[in-house]
Structure 1
Amino acid sequence: MAGQIPLGRLLPRHAADRVTGALADTRVVLVNGARQCGKSTLVGLIGRSRDAEFRTLDRGAVRQAAVFDPPTFVTSDRLLVIDEIQRVPELLLAIKERVDTDLRPGQFLLTGSARVLGLKALPDTLLGRMETVELWPLAQGEIDDGPDGFVDAIFELGPAFRHRTSETRSGYVSRIVRGGFPEAVARTPRRRTRFFESYLADLVNRDVIQLMDVQRGAELRALTRLVAARSGQLLVPGSLAGPLGLSQRTVERYLTLLEEVFLIKRIPAWARSPSARAVRTPKVAYVDSGLAAAALGHDESSLGRPDGQLGGLLEGFVLSELARQLSWSAQLADLFHYRTKDQVEVDAVIENRRGQVVAIKVKASTMVRGEDFAGIRHLSARIGTDLVVGVVLYAGAETLSFGDRMLAVPIAALWERPQA
């Protein structure tokens, strides 16, 4: 059951091993992710264990010094931690010049809160010199001290995968509303709502409008609500343009900005051909389910009602948990969704580098029926033995077999320790 963590308690992050591993053989390491997801805490812990020097560009005086003299700013005999590097992208060229003359690994540990860094600056500066580690808000296993090992286990075990849980449907509702931001997880429900309201307002007013020269703040804030209402659904910019009174081109630009500041994540459509994937419609999920619920005005009571809008938010929650795991899993794989022109759907398709696939449908019910596997069976007919297993993740308590390579599995198996 979802609950609070004590204020001030530091939770271990799965990404920590990736960061320390990268520092051992890479000159520059970037931890990139949403604001308030724990980047500064993570790099602070790692940096202090290495006697690092710290500089944060959120401070005005520090930022001015960085702009005035980038080469001096990035000079240090120790590991240099620079927080919020996107504030002064000019530093990237100075870092490049330094690491090109000194090839030692582990010289710079950076954090960033915008993907715009990767889109505009990095291709011309730190390509081949830097490893990026994406940090998400807390995963459920990080909160509960669970393994978050579903992706690796399901590929390893396939149809032999088994799990039992005591988690309930109301528990899943609590987890969705709570989300994974450390500040939100540690608060009471009422104070958590205030955090989400402030977070969304600051993200739009500070990061998007100020940093990216967006003029129409009211429409952008309305867009965040419309996208939240489409969590786990197809993201069609044209369907959003009319209600906002904006052109489709403007909506597409705004959606890109929301993805660059880590508010939303687009899940591409699966196809065997990469060119076919590029032209198909993606799904969308909020990076944090608590933010999505708050944007729609939902609390545990409203979302838990029989007529509550649980389905889309639950699917977005599952997609985000899977995406988190793929950032640290031993299994190198990518996350997609599957939908045909006849509207045959599979909510999540995880494909590894060998072309093996785990197909997943998400269901808010405690009951599973044979027809719930229809989309998975359709995909199975296309890819044959490349399907490792088809899974319906549901709100029930135990794993059930529905035929060859078809399983109903409790949603909590995503983060809990395996139970026979």
Structure 2
Amino acid sequence: MIKKRNLFKYINDDLKEKMVFLDGPRQVGKTTLAQQIGEEQYKKYSYLNWDNLQDKKRIINSQFEPDAKLIVFDEIHKYAKWKNYVKGEWDKNKKKYDILVTGSARLDLYRHGGDSLMGRYHYYRLHPFSLAEVLEIDNKIQVKNDLVFVDAKNLRKTFDDLFVYGGFPEPFLKENKRTLRRFHNERQSRLIKEDIRDVELVRDLSALEILATILPEKVGSLLSLNSLREDLQVTHKTVAHWMDILERFYYHYRIYPHAASTIKSLRREPKMFLWDWSQVKNEGSRLENIVASHLLKFSHILHDSEGFDVELKFLRDIEGREVDFLITVNKKPWFAVEVKTSNKKATKHLKYFKEKMNIPFVYQVVASTGIDFVQNDIRVISVEKFLTALF
């Protein structure tokens, strides 16, 4: 079963006016999405993968199928001159065909070459499946307004499947623990020994793989590079470089504390989460990770498709008060989210930050099903229902 991704309509519309760059984690469904667009929206399209030797020759020689109206370049960021190449193809042939570029690393960072692509492309990040996407809930988000939650058929079952198998298409759609274990092993190995090796200079790939192996234990806590440096017996500069590489290749992401004049904010260490939350063994940390990933997807889609300055942050002051997540618009609070595995009573930290920072909407998201009430102007709500309001 191939589900239509919620970026389909945005990318299809944008291809009519500019190139589209689509990146995201390995095996998240970029190729499938690109081919769906080609098959459903174009009479003929051409798919070329830089990792394929024959396709590589065709790319270098600019040999495309006759009458193709869409050219898909996959993993072309591994070509040192890729930026100037796609710019040249676009400038020369934009009236002949549309161009979609996909990759498993951040294409906005891998811009080798001297000429600029500015103004020639729209940029999207494809995330793993989310609850609303799987259930085909078409939310009409009103930025700065309260979220709108819905009841849907198979809501808890769908959440439980996402929680266990993650949102990557292969293990999620198969719902099989053996498939999940093999997916974890193969994805991490290929990410480091193929994708990263092809474009990054890393002398000790085995140590980088060890770093990737220990990161799931760090999910949700303040990330200390010094602690990682000691674990790996490498320099601070080296571990910082490795963390940046893994982030560029969508293994993990970091969110940073929000700075506000009304509180004495902690402005140093970020919190770290994985793109594949199913790798996190601790269920409390995994719950926080799945909510973080849904919120990150929410902020990315609003930014990439609508142009809103939406960011995902967290709150922590020097006295140790903390709230897990804060969504901001134009650097100002929109809503805050605290995630709890068992506590159904509204937390005092949420109340404190709401009043101190004048946060319009606050939610306490709990693991238990069937919860939805307001206490002290804080909405306490089950995780599966909360996630229906996002993308």
Deviating above 4 A after TM superposition, structure 1's stretches of 4 or more consecutive aligned residues are 71-77, 101-106, 161-174, 276-279
Letter in 2 for 1:156: N
CA change 1:191–1:72 in 2 (3 A) is closer
CA change 1:164–1:81 in 2 (3 A) is closer
Aligned to 2:206: 218
Aligned to 2:327: 350
Deviation at 1:77, TM superposition (A): 6.2
- Identify which of 269, 290, 295 aligns with 1:317: 290
Letter in 2 for 1:334: E
SS of the aligned residue for 2:109 comes to helix
Aligned to 2:86: 95
Task: Output one character per residue of 1:96-153: Cα deviation in whole Å (capped at 9) or x when no partner.
Answer: 1343355649621110111165244388431211111110121123233344x4x937
CA change 1:209–1:100 in 2 (3 A) is closer
CA change 1:267–1:206 in 2 (3 A) is same
Contact 1:350–1:359 under 8 Å retained in 2: yes
Contact 1:311–1:364 under 8 Å retained in 2: yes
**CA distance in structure 1 between the aligned counterparts of 2:320 and 2:106, rounded to whole angstroms:** 32
Q: Give runs of aligned pairs for residues 148-187 of structure 1, distance below 5 A.
A: 149=139, 152=141, 155-157=144-146, 174-187=161-174
Contact 1:289–1:317 under 8 Å retained in 2: yes
- Identify which of 241, 255, 258 aligns with 1:253: 241
- Higher relative contact order (CA closer than 8 Å, sequence separation 6+): 1
Aligned to 1:409: 381
Is 250-259 or 96-105 further displaced after alignment? 96-105
Task: Output one character per residue of 1:290-321: Cα deviation in whole Å (capped at 9) or x when no partner.
Answer: 2x23xxxx4xxxxxxxxxx2221211111001
- Identify which of 360, 366, 369 aligns with 2:345: 369
SS of the aligned residue for 1:93 comes to helix
Q: Given the two structures, how large is their TM-score scaled by the length of structure 1?
A: 0.81
SS of the aligned residue for 1:118 comes to coil
Letter in 2 for 1:12: K
Letter in 2 for 1:260: R
Task: Output one character per residue of 1:228-255: Cα deviation in whole Å (capped at 9) or x when no partner.
Answer: 1111222221111101111111111111
Aligned to 1:399: 372
Letter in 2 for 1:157: D
Q: Give runs of aligned pairs for residues 186-197 of structure 1, distance below 5 A.
A: 186-187=173-174, 188-197=176-185
SS of the aligned residue for 1:199 comes to helix
Residues matched between the structures, number? 380
Task: Output one character per residue of 1:37-81: Cα deviation in whole Å (capped at 9) or x when no partner.
Answer: 1111111111122122221212023224434x4x55799863211
CA change 1:123–1:74 in 2 (3 A) is farther
Extract unaligned runs of 5+ from structure 2. none
CA change 1:255–1:76 in 2 (3 A) is farther
Is 244-253 or 17-26 further displaced after alignment? 17-26
Aligned to 1:328: 301
SS of the aligned residue for 2:380 comes to strand
**CA distance in structure 1 between the aligned counterparts of 2:214 and 2:344, rounded to whole angstroms:** 30
Letter in 2 for 1:62: D
Extract unaligned runs of 5+ from structure 1. 1-8, 299-308
Aligned to 1:303: none
Deviation at 1:284, TM superposition (A): 1.0
Aligned to 1:59: 52
Aligned to 1:302: none
Letter in 2 for 1:144: L
Q: Given the two structures, how large is their TM-score scaled by the length of structure 2?
A: 0.87
**CA distance in structure 2 between the aligned counterparts of 1:111 and 1:344, rounded to whole angstroms:** 41
Task: Output one character per residue of 1:6-57: Cα deviation in whole Å (capped at 9) or x when no partner.
Answer: xxx110111111101211222x111111111111111111112212222121
**CA distance in structure 1 between the aligned counterparts of 2:78 and 2:331, rounded to whole angstroms:** 39
Aligned to 1:239: 227
Structure richer in helix, relative to its length: 1
Deviation at 1:280, TM superposition (A): 2.8
Letter in 1 for 2:136: D
Deviation at 1:279, TM superposition (A): 5.5
Contact 1:146–1:415 under 8 Å retained in 2: no
**CA distance in structure 2 between the aligned counterparts of 1:169 and 1:72, rounded to whole angstroms:** 49
Residue 40 of structure 2 is aligned to residue 46 of structure 1: no
Letter in 1 for 2:374: S
Residue 336 of structure 2 is aligned to residue 359 of structure 1: yes
Task: Output one character per residue of 1:182-236: Cα deviation in whole Å (capped at 9) or x when no partner.
Answer: 1111331122211211111111111123431212222212211221111122222
Task: Output one character per residue of 1:341-368: Cα deviation in whole Å (capped at 9) or x when no partner.
Answer: 2221111100123724201101111x41
**CA distance in structure 2 between the aligned counterparts of 1:259 and 1:337, rounded to whole angstroms:** 18
Contact 1:113–1:262 under 8 Å retained in 2: yes
Residue 256 of structure 2 is aligned to residue 268 of structure 1: yes
Aligned to 2:3: 11
**CA distance in structure 2 between the aligned counterparts of 1:377 and 1:83, rounded to whole angstroms:** 47
